Amino acid sequence: MAFEPRFRNTVRVRYGECDQQGVVFNAHYLAYVDDTLERWMHEVPNLRDLGWDMMLKRAEIVWHGSARSGETLDIDAAVTRWGNTSWEVAFLGAVDGAAIFVATVLYVSVVLDELTPMTTPAEVIAAFGAACDPPV
């Protein structure tokens, strides 16, 4: 199955997020990714009622361009792999339809407040949807 975004977050790039070259400083892209997942999670009610939380284990970003101050960055997200305790989410960031970055983040499901790994609950998998292929 091709990359099928399940959630979109739109970010307006602020001047203070740009470096001396006038483009978004690289560390801000991970903040945008984190914000996107947080907003997606807020649309899925009662996940914490399952005694579930998640933690980032690994993140990789490949840049295809640069976003600049004042531009609108659309960030599409979808799960690309479900494991037993871990899962990967791909984030595709674009300005006016042109790819700026692709981030792949590996998360681990953990017991809420204990932060020990746990099997990802079926309700979480159902909420975020079936895995699809990562964007190219």
**pLDDT tens across 90-110, in order?**
999 999 999 999 999 999 999
**pLDDT tens across 23-60, in order?**
999 999 999 999 999 999 999 878 889 999 999 999 99
What is the structure's pLDDT at 24?
97
Strand partners, 23: 68
* 1, 5, 95, 105 from 85: Cα distances, Å: 22, 22, 33, 14
Q: Which tokens sit at 14?
A: 């602020």
* Amino acid (one-letter) located at 44: V
**Contact 36/76 with Cβ under 8 angstroms?**
no
Domain 7-128 has what CATH class? alpha beta
- Report the predicted TM-score, pTM, of the whole model to 2 decimal places: 0.94
